[in-house]
């Protein structure tokens, strides 16, 4: 490990956030461009900013795609290149007799920065698309189906035109039970996603140390299963009797 890597300090650490204190030698635009570009190229990294005033590095990332160890390894591998970029920038400014500009990027840096932004945008789009597809599939799975497995078409009302939304989605299928089941599934998926790193790295490796967390998981699973069993065992409403036929003299048959 290099001398500069030993001097990196962890100021704040969370599941999806990391804030580090770098040596003062990296508080320059050249080093900032190299470090930020390398971290933004890592899958799942949403933002990487190096504050030049105090050499403070802030990294926001998706814990499902990246980890603290991966970020540390990438940062360690780019420290030498960042120092070289700082030395090259300082020598160029000394040769030109002017201070390095911090407001504009060199012409050769723009393609790399634009490519990093493009990759980040594609990652966000793929993430949003996966979440939308998962929510759509979960809602379709929760919708009640008739015994025959075929959803009857809605009867058009005279004088009204069916909208495109009603052609692909029947509002009559959305009831209180379907909404509650969908909300329970979304909450379960969200809790698993938020605690995924702790489940795989702490709870499974040291189950006795995290017994309280496992008790909470088992209890919530028990409540969810019991609710689903009650919903399935609930009696269905009886069908309405057919309307009575009237005779010609006004009496009801």
pLDDT in tens, 233-248: 766 655 555 555 555 5
pLDDT band at 44 (very low <50, low <70, confident <90, very high): confident
What pLDDT is recorded for position 103? 45
Whether 102 shows a pLDDT value over 70: the answer reads: no
155 within a domain of the structure (yes/no):
no
Stated pTM of the model: 0.40
CATH number for the domain spanning 42: value is 3.30.70.100
107 within a domain of the structure (yes/no):
no
147 within a domain of the structure (yes/no):
no
pLDDT band at 59 (very low <50, low <70, confident <90, very high): very high
185 within a domain of the structure (yes/no):
yes
Whether 200 shows a pLDDT value over 60: the answer reads: yes
Write out the chain in H/E/C secondary structure.
CCHHHHCCEEEEEECCEEEEECCHHHCCHHHHHHHHHHHHCCCCEEEEEEECCCCEEEEEECCCCCCHHHHHHHHHHHHHHHHHHHHHHHHHHHHHCCCCCCCCCCHHHHHHHHHHHHHHHHHHHHHHHHHHHHHHHHHHHHCCCCCCCCCCCCCCCCCCCCCHHHHHCCHHHCCHHHHHHHHHHHHHHHHHHHCHHHHHHHHCCCCCCCHHHHHHHHHHHHHHHHHHHHHHHCCCCCCCCCCCCECCCCCEC
pLDDT band at 99 (very low <50, low <70, confident <90, very high): very low
pLDDT in tens, 158-196: 444 555 555 556 666 667 777 888 888 888 888 888 888
Q: Which of 7-21, 101-115, 130-144, 147-161 has the highest mean pLDDT?
A: 7-21
- Domain holding 210, by residue range, is 174-234
Q: How many domains is the chain partitioned into structurally?
A: 2
188 within a domain of the structure (yes/no):
yes
148 within a domain of the structure (yes/no):
no
212 within a domain of the structure (yes/no):
yes
What pLDDT is recorded for position 62? 86
35 within a domain of the structure (yes/no):
yes
Report the percent of the chain where pLDDT is more than 70: 69
């Amino acid at each position: 490990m290099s001398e500069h890597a030993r001097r990196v300090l962890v100021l704040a650490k969370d599941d999806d956030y990391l804030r580090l204190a770098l040596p003062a030698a990296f508080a320059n635009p050249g080093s900032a461009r190299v470090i930020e570009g390398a971290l933004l190229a890592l899958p799942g990294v949403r933002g990487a900013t190096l504050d030049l005033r105090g050499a403070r590095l802030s990294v926001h990332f998706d814990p499902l795609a990246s980890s603290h160890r991966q970020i540390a390894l990438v940062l360690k591998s780019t420290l030498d290149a960042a120092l070289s970029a700082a030395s090259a920038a300082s020598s160029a400014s000394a040769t030109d007799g002017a201070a390095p500009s911090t407001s504009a990027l060199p012409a050769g840096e723009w393609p790399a920065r634009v490519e990093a932004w493009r990759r980040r945008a594609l990652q966000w789009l793929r993430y949003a698309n996966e979440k939308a597809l998962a929510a759509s599939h979960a809602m379709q799975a929760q919708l009640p189906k008739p015994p025959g497995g075929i959803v009857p078409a809605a009867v058009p009302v005279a004088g009204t035109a069916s909208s495109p939304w009603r052609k692909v989605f029947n509002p009559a299928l959305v009831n209180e039970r379907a909404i509650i089941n969908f909300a329970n599934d979304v909450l379960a998926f969200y809790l698993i996603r938020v605690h995924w790193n702790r489940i795989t790295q702490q709870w499974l490796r040291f189950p006795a140390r995290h017994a309280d967390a496992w008790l909470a998981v088992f209890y919530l699973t028990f409540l969810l299963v019991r609710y689903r069993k009650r919903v399935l065992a609930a009696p269905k409403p009886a069908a309405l009797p057919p309307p009575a036929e009237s005779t010609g003299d006004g009496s009801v048959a």
